[in-house]
Amino acid sequence: MTITPIDATTTAAWEALTAHQTSLEPDLRAWFAADHDRASRLTRTVGDLHVDLSKNLVTDQTLALLVQLAGEVGLAGRIDAMFAGEHINVTEDRAVLHTALRRPASATPPLIVDGQDVDADVQAVLAQVDAFADKVRSGAWTGVTGARVATVVNIGIGGSDLGPVMAYEALKPYVADGLTVRFVSNIDPADVAETVKDLDPTTTLFIVASKTFGTLETLTNARLARAWLWEQLLAAGAIEDTEAARTEAVARHFVAVSTALDKVAEFGIDPANAFGFWDWVGGRYSVDSAIGTSLAIAVGPHNFRAFLNGFHTVDEHFRTVPFEQNVPVLMGLLNVWYVNFLGAHTHAVLPYAQYLHRFAAYLQQLTMESNGKSVRWDGTPVTTQTGEIFWGEPGTNGQHAFYQLIHQGTRLIPADFIAVATPAHPLRDAGSPGGEADVHELFLANFFAQTKALAFGMTADEVRAAGVAEEIVPARVFSGNRPTTSIMAPALTPGVLGQLIALYEHITFVQGIVWGVDSFDQWGVQLGKLLAVEIAPAVAGDADVLATQDASTRGLIEYYRANRT
Ligand code: F6P
């Protein structure tokens, strides 16, 4: 039975938050000056993550009202429903159980959902992925010529790409010597062409990663990769020009990850080389399923398990810790505060960790495909703004690009800053003007300085006191009161990465529950896909199909056909 979402805007907490917002005059300078405990009181811990919420535009009362709101929309019940495997993905009538992917093998009692022993299924596939990863890493798995794998190419898009590529980049220091993973996602032929052009086919393994095994981009790229493999192996004299040799080449150089194992077999990949998962894993929540096989090969089964344990630590926190101390709950509620009460439209995620350079791109799918909805899970229109535009780049690069707008622009942009204490590369700069410097410390000084500048700004008097000419004082003033959350961890380990991902998964869930949307469907991506199939013949020259197009689309296609050389 579908429960009706509780309309957050009708709750007493919403009314109280509206009144509270009207009377609140955020003043982080004054708040910190008057309240020496503010930083410690508003800092929380989850797993290895130290999360300082104190530079947000909230008082204790704001947080209390937000927690009240979570209670009034029934968040606790929805969390329980998700972990129990209820079909909370209403529009697709599915359970939402990415949390089951990281339950330890020893978890009791077993999780039975829709008559299936989910734990047993998960552990069986994990064992398969581990065994395969070990074979590739040890050289026991070879290509047709007997050469061991040097390059893994993951072919997938959306959740079947963004998670693996983000995590692979984040965990580069853990990647085995002699192994590289590349990623092909775009149907722009430039992507696959550039990715394979310098590869040795005899040492290349392709992983076709697609939940549905029906995604146009992925299947097209997989066929292009297969054609490239055959052509290159033939040219190198590595295989005979026979059907049997081609079949054998695919068996040795292609594996697949999918929920649709029948379609994998149709493509020609041996089902013995296919790793399954289940429809209760959303694409954007799947990096911790067999979709992470490329990562498991790169960093090894041991580190992949540590990655999963990191997720589980945050899952347990989210499931059990009271809302006042619950980091994903508080961060999700803060986002609601900014979007619905303070008018923010976007949210910056700014990792001070070069290895996290794809983290914001990953979060874009996680958050925006989940919560970019205009109807609630019962089909009624939403009653308030939903979603936020997530974006970001690693610091300090962003400082020299878009931070100007965050510091002095007219928009409110809440930002999450992420940093780790221990660098992967403890380099020192012997030629630093102030004497030999630890470069990671210079890097972190920027991290600390930015959130400080955003929170406390610089007044006109302070600008004048620095000797600035009066006419440019206004341009040099920083208003401050620009909210940030600082997240720190001891180091960017597989476990910490898992914790960070799970944190944002659950933040997204909290926002979805407050807004009453189904955070686990993605119908909004369908129309464009259908139209692309419909338009394709016109692009290829079918005049009848062209004639049915609107004038703008027709004109654009005609331009293409006239200008293609
Ligand atoms: O088009 C959106 C989407 O369905 C995503 O939700 C998904 O992650 C991506 O496409 C890829 O889908 P698949 O893994 O089935 O190829």
Spell out the per-residue pLDDT of the chain, length 565, in tens.
Answer: 578 999 999 999 999 999 999 999 999 999 999 999 999 999 999 999 999 999 999 999 999 999 999 999 999 999 999 999 999 999 999 999 999 999 999 999 999 999 999 999 999 999 999 999 999 999 999 999 999 999 999 999 999 999 999 999 999 999 999 999 999 999 999 999 999 999 999 999 999 999 999 999 999 999 999 999 999 999 999 999 999 999 999 999 999 999 998 999 999 999 889 999 999 999 999 999 999 999 999 999 999 999 999 999 999 999 999 999 999 999 999 999 999 999 999 999 999 999 999 999 999 999 999 999 999 999 999 999 999 999 999 999 999 999 999 999 999 999 999 999 999 999 999 999 989 999 999 999 999 999 999 999 999 999 999 999 999 999 999 999 999 999 999 999 999 999 999 999 999 999 999 999 999 999 999 999 999 999 999 999 999 999 999 999 999 999 999 999 9
CB of residue 299 inside a 6 A radius of ligand 1 = no
As a whole number of angstroms, the distance between CA 498 and CA 309 comes to 7
CB-CB contact of 65 with 13 (8 Å): yes
Separation of 284 CA from ligand 1 center, angstroms?
8
State residue 1's pLDDT score: 57
Phi, psi of 157 (to 5 degrees): -145, 160
Catalytically active residues, by annotation? 369, 400, 529
Report the atom number in ligand 1 closest to the C-alpha of 156: 16
Q: What is the Cα–Cα distance from 219 to 319, expressed in whole angstroms? A: 38
CA distance 33 to 398: 30
Mapped onto helix, strand or coil, the DSSP state of residue 256 is strand
Atom 9, ligand 1: residue with shortest CA distance? 158
Q: Is 218 in the pocket of ligand 1 (CB under 6 A)?
A: yes
Contact, 297 vs 152, CB < 8 A?
yes
Distance 289 CA to ligand 1 centre (A): 14
Give the integer Cα–Cα distance in Å for 237 and 439: 50
| Assessment of whether the complete model's pTM goes beyond 0.90 | yes
Q: Give the per-residue pLDDT at 78.
A: 98
Which atom of ligand 1 is closest in space to residue 209's alpha carbon? 14
Closest residue by Cα to atom 1, ligand 1, is 525
CA distance 281 to 275: 14
H or E stretch covering 182: strand 180-184
Angle at 390 between CA 402 and CA 183, to 5 degrees: 95
Question: For residue 129, how far is its CA from the centre of ligand 1 (angstroms)?
Answer: 21
Instruction: Tell me if 522 CB under 6 Å of ligand 1.
Output: yes
Q: At 449, is the secondary structure helix, strand, or coil?
A: helix
Tell me if 153 CB under 6 Å of ligand 1: no
Ligand 1 atom, smallest distance to 212 CA:
15
Q: What value, to the nearest 5°, has the Cα angle with vertex 157 and ends 155 and 161?
A: 70
Q: Quote the tokens at residue 227.
A: 């054609």
* ipTM of the modeled complex: 0.98
Rg of the chain in Å (alpha carbons): 26
Regarding beta strands 428-429 and 437-438, do their DSSP bridges make them parallel or antiparallel, or are they unpaired? antiparallel
Residue 323 per-residue DSSP state? G
Report how far ligand 1's centroid is from the alpha carbon of 87 (Å). 20
Q: Is 155 in the pocket of ligand 1 (CB under 6 A)?
A: no
User: With a 6 A CB cut-off, is 290 part of the ligand 1 pocket?
Assistant: no
Q: Is the CB of 163 under 6 A from ligand 1?
A: no
Give the per-residue pLDDT at 3. 85
Q: Which of 378, 322, 343, 328 is nearest to 508 (CA)?
A: 328
pLDDT of residue 2: 72
In angstroms, the CA 154 to CA 205 distance is 9
CA 321 to chain centre: 24
**Res 355: pLDDT:** 98
CA of residue 60 to ligand 1 center, whole Å: 41
Closest CA to 153 of 122, 126, 188, 193: 193
